[in-house]
Structure 1
């Protein structure tokens, strides 16, 4: 039987949630479970009513994206985990193409290219992700910022059991933190240079509203893993 992929969608007062869920349901890959984690929403919950019989709906008190992701992962039954933000969308071949790529490369984690879309769903930039990098280039890039769009990532569940889940103390950079831990553990972070996700830029997105706090958190994560990255970069085989 083909491997099951769990798509975890954290949701908090997002008007785009219906489009995210619809894109997950429209995957060409058949063995998918969709887990929507309602992180204490007070708005737009009614948009999910018509999907209740096709998704797993988990409610919880508001705690932030990392807590919602971890809650969904703990309840997931898939061998692989994909994360979809409630304001983004997967293209129909996202799961099938990325899973095939991971199986072919025996990858434990991978990320892909993506397009930018606007609040109306129109594509405003194609192939907005990073260019393919060597491992060394990726490590150098991580010293400056996060080259990995979290909603393009697919990760084998067994790797999370080994490395740990998202750090719930980090409201904004839980993904950047986890990618560091995976790299420092020596796990190859494979890249599929194919646009499989639509990443939405809109005025209400957290990266705009919380820019100052995000900058401080990025600096703290970089400081935490500075020595680990340095050791990898200067390791002699």
Structure 2
């Protein structure tokens, strides 16, 4: 399929997102440079709520928007993203999850960088209004990350990502069997085969109607997330991209980080139960 020059295909996997999907689509509609967007691919991944009805109504009410709607059996976020990637027409691909929002200037800021620096294949951005650190190293401007950087700190978040669609020919697609850490598993391939840039500026809001440490969020699967991170690290090591000593340093670091999160979660649960008792 021929790519459309300098245009972006937006891919949104949707699963039981009736409470958020309208706001998500609105955040695309409000982009200051919407003209860079050639299509919005909404993939309903087997939702059982009113997501489909809301999306269809939104399309009818905003017929001027280039929204293409697809419905498929549930296969997970990676399956839905792959579905969209196989149908995307744009030269660039951007992801947006169905419970995240783009800041109005998101596409404008990133496309300005990508068009000024044609060598950039992968570009991510931030989701917090605070300085960005990789361990003790502070990142203040556009930054070309190394594979060690990504091992030290898994970044960026998926709704901030924009990358050249042509890279798919070399890298393939998301691993649909991996359910946790699958995004970094895919993104680290860009760093190895192409390049990996990061802009430390908040351009997205993640989980805007969800407690990030809540029972319904990904952090309720801390063990699975930890194991996914270890899998990603092991693959990079087995492929010879990091040393044995660095690999084991990171294994220890990840274990300590996991223990810290478990303790924080335990304290949070205790406080929550205490409030309920009162």
Q: Secondary structure at the match of 1:183?
A: helix
The alignment's C-alpha RMSD in Å is: 2.4
Q: Secondary structure at the match of 1:210?
A: helix
2:122 to 109, 116, 127: 109
Q: Secondary structure at the match of 1:85?
A: coil
- TM-score w.r.t. length of structure 2: 0.72
Match of 2:139 in 1: 132
Change in Cα spacing, 1:139 to 1:96, as seen in structure 2 (3 Å) is same
Q: Distance in 2 between matches of 1:144 and 1:22?
A: 34
Q: Distance in 1 between matches of 2:151 and 2:36?
A: 37
Would you say 1:10 and 2:17 are equivalent positions? no
- TM-score w.r.t. length of structure 1: 0.84
Uncovered stretches (5+) of structure 1, i.e. residues with no partner:
116-125
User: How many pairs were matched up?
Assistant: 221
Match of 1:118 in 2: none
Match of 1:89 in 2: 101
1:184 to 192, 196, 206: 192
Match of 1:59 in 2: 71
- The answer to whether the 8 Å contact 2:23/2:101 transfers is yes
Q: Distance in 2 between matches of 1:182 and 1:139?
A: 9
Would you say 1:215 and 2:226 are equivalent positions? yes
Q: Distance in 2 between matches of 1:181 and 1:2?
A: 24
- The answer to whether the 8 Å contact 2:8/2:90 transfers is yes
Change in Cα spacing, 1:207 to 1:161, as seen in structure 2 (3 Å) is same
Match of 2:201 in 1: 194
- The answer to whether the 8 Å contact 2:132/2:139 transfers is no
Q: Distance in 2 between matches of 1:128 and 1:23?
A: 24
Uncovered stretches (5+) of structure 2, i.e. residues with no partner:
247-278
Q: Secondary structure at the match of 1:79?
A: strand
**Deviation of residue 204 (structure 1)?**
5.6
List per-residue Cα deviations over 1:60-108 (Å, max 9, x = no partner): 1000000000101111111100000111001111111101101111111
Match of 1:149 in 2: 157
Q: Which runs of 4+ in 1 moved over 2 A?
A: 127-135, 137-145, 200-206
RCO comparison, higher one (Cα < 8 Å, 6+): 1
List per-residue Cα deviations over 1:24-70 (Å, max 9, x = no partner): 12212213111111000011313223222432111110000000001
Match of 1:159 in 2: 167
